[in-house]
Amino acid sequence: MTSDEIRQEYSMRDILTRCGLPQPNRAGFIQCPFHKGDREASMKIYDRDYNCFGCGANGDIFSFIEQFYGIGFKDAFLMLGGTYEKKSSYASKLAIYRAKKAQEMKRKTAQREQSRRKLNNALITIYRSYMERSEPLSEVWCDCYNALQYQLYVGGYLEK
């Protein structure tokens, strides 16, 4: 969870309960846990933050947890269920993008090559079948023979 999500999920009343403090009175005040000698409630609890009129302590749920337990923001954030996500830099995003593009190009090239080979093999089969059905050394037979030789050369089966 991000800090904004935590702020939306927890109210100050939830934080007071979590810290084992009493709920505010009807006016929304509690005795301040941050200074001593408070005979009357001097800390006003709002929905998302607090303010002490005696010692001047104020802030949101994170600053309350920080002051109450004497910890830093990171520990308060983790205590309330926050998670840190490592943000990737522009260079790493660019490297990932380039790797994906290269992989996509390889895949497309392989597909094109496979399609070309299928077509080439189909043409070779057609030319051979025409040659078998035609009269040897006739015009049709010679045309098929030349076309077959070309397809075999293009397909990589023959060398010139």
Contact predicate 29/42, CB 8 Å: yes
- Which residue matches tokens 């969870």? 1
Q: What are phi and psi of 27, to 5 degrees?
A: -85, -10
| pLDDT tens per residue across span 14-67 | 999 988 888 999 999 999 988 887 778 889 999 989 999 988 989 999 999 999
Which phi and psi angles does 148 have, rounded to 5°? -65, -45
Domain residue ranges of the chain, discontinuous segments joined by +: 3-79, 90-154
In tens, the pLDDT along 118-134 reads 888 888 888 788 778 87
pTM for this entry: 0.52
Q: Coil, strand or helix: which one is 120?
A: helix
Q: Which CATH class is domain 3-79?
A: alpha beta
